[in-house]
Amino acid sequence: MGLKKWIDLQLHPERIRENPVLAEKLNRLDTLNMTTAQMIRSYPTPGTVKAMVEGKLPFPEDPDRRMMIRRLVSRFDKSNNTPPPPDLAEILTPEQARSFRSGTPQQKLAIFEPLPVEKQDLALESMGQGQRMQLFQAAPPELRRRIERAAGPRQVIAADLTEAKIYRAVYSSRQLEEVLVDFWYNHFNVFLEKGADNYMVTAYERDAIRPYVFGKFEDLLRSTAESPAMMFYLDNWESRGPQSIAGRQQKRGLNENYGRELLELHTLGVDGGYTQHDVTEVARCFTGWTIRQPDQQAAFEFNHRMHDDGPKVVLGTRIPAGGGMDDGFKVLHLLAHHPATAHFVSRQLAMRFVADDPPATLVDRMAATFLKKDGALRAVLKTMFDSPEFWSRGAYRSKVKSPLEMVVSSLRALNADVDFTFGLNNQLTQLGEPLYRKPEPTGYSNSGQEWLNSAGLLARMNFGVALANNKVPGVRVENVSATEGVSLGSPEFQRK
């Protein structure tokens, strides 16, 4: 269809028929479509298990999920005298136990599969993590799910997230949408490993980011601001106006974390013209934006008792007293239409797609579109893709790929079949980009230069060797030998 038409189609992913292979792979990951509350019930926290033991919540009906929480139950229920899981030698014959410990993944599977289901469950409980992962490599999808559950609830949720991200990047026909979801997740970064965010990040990416990547920036900004995942990560859910009812009663005060990152990272940028006074005033506006029962419902709510209802002044704009929850919306509207935001967001996009130091003329043109089109992100992207700077010789191959881009583009170039992804996720961790696990609010950098170091380059070469030799667990590459004996820099290699 030609490159220009392909780019236009990618800007309208709703017109693209999605790859059925991707849908089949995602269907195995049940947490992807759960609400946070459903996830907490199905893959419970220790606190939820305690409530089950005390009769405040029902136990899961699914036997695999019951097996998953068996050890957690025994930690809280001292009266049930739950025995520890038996050793493998008590479940298998001596010969089987020896073979299982020293055998290949396929040999382990051949021993495990004929066992009755009850013995399989006991065996999974008694295995160490290394033994489970070896069995996992040879197991069919249904057994893999049981193995993941045996490792614990939190691991299932994290595994589903990372697996889905890699599957989408490798198999999706809507490539630009996947790149943008990754870009905006980093822009509005949330750290998966911070407490309850382990359960909230799935809904955050699915509901607060993915639907808005081609829409208006204000809608995206608002959806992330109202997300329990963001409020928990940056502690806004505990922020109270010092003079609010809750602030006086509980002697807790203002938390400025979200206010600061909203201005510095999400909208205006560090040089966007705000002051510390603006940070404090923004934080006051968002008091009362909190989470209902983070360990059970994890839903957004506004609590007026926590809100500072006095007058505020943000960036010279007066916000009258008595506004309640609307104080936060007024701030978001003000920031979403600010020229500094238009410039900062445009520059971040140009850094991601064009060059680490993008031309000022391009950024200014994108910012003008941002302001003229009311923050319409699709229009800003089109301005960038249509620009002479995007197609210039200086921009051609000027970017160093992030680890995720490098790994995924290698898989796509070699038409690799990805059966499961924990091996790829381990590779990304070694390369310095563990998915969803950037602790700082900055997210992973849009600058390719950040990835240029000797250890990182050596790890990339090692990945290439492992991939070409089919040594990455869960990944199969066919016909790699077609490049044998060909110089890496030769035209023949480039064609292959």
Residues 374 and 420 in one domain: no
- Of 123 and 305, the one with more pLDDT: 305
The single residue listed with the structure tokens 């208006």 is 216
At 74, the pLDDT band (50, 70, 90 cuts) reads low
Q: How confident is the model at residue 61 (pLDDT cuts 50, 70, 90)?
A: confident
Say whether both 410 and 380 belong to one domain. Answer: no
34 and 67 part of one domain: yes
If asked whether residues 380 and 288 sit together in one domain, one would say no
pLDDT band at residue 486 using 50, 70 and 90 as cut-offs? very low
Residue 169 belongs to a domain: no
Indicate if 138 and 35 belong to the same structural domain. yes
Count how many residues are written for the chain: 496
What angle do helix axes 141-151 and 117-126 make, rounded to 10 degrees? 50
- Do 407 and 484 have their domain in common? yes
Domain boundary among 156, 175, 205: 156
Given this model, what pLDDT does residue 70 score?
65
Residue 321 inside a domain? The answer is yes
Q: What are phi and psi of 197, to 5 degrees?
A: -65, -20
Taking all residues of the chain, what is their mean pLDDT, rounded to a whole number? 90
**Which region among 60-74, 119-133, 171-185, 400-414 has the lowest average model confidence (pLDDT)?**
60-74
Domain contains 245: yes
On whether residue 96 sits in a domain, the answer given is: yes
**Average pLDDT score over residue span 303-310:** 96
User: Residue 59 is part of which domain span?
Assistant: 30-156
Residue 94 belongs to some domain of the structure: yes
Q: Is residue 163 part of a domain?
A: no
What is the DSSP annotation of 418-482?
Answer: ES--HHHHHHHHHTT--TT---STT-S-S-GGGG-SHHHHHHHHHHHHHHHTT-STTEE---GGG
- Domain end call among 156, 188, 220: 156
481 CB burial (10 A radius; 0-12, 13-18, 19+)? exposed
Same domain, 39 and 138: yes
Instruction: Give the pLDDT of residue 491.
Output: 53
Residue 117: its pLDDT value, please?
85
In tens, the pLDDT along 177-191 reads: 999 999 999 999 999
pLDDT band at 265 (very low <50, low <70, confident <90, very high): very high
Give the phi and the psi of residue 241 in degrees, each rounded to 5: -65, 130
Q: How many domains does the chain contain in total?
A: 4
Report how far residue 435's alpha carbon sits from residue 159's, in angstroms, rounded to the nearest whole number.
10
Q: Do 376 and 432 share a domain, yes or no?
A: no
Residue 168 counted as domain residue: no
418 and 358 in one domain?
no
151 and 66 in one domain?
A: yes
For residue 109, give the H/E element and its range.
Answer: helix 105-112
pLDDT tens per residue across span 412-464: 999 999 999 999 999 999 999 999 999 999 999 999 888 988 988 999 999 99
Note whether residue 452 is domain-resident. Answer: yes
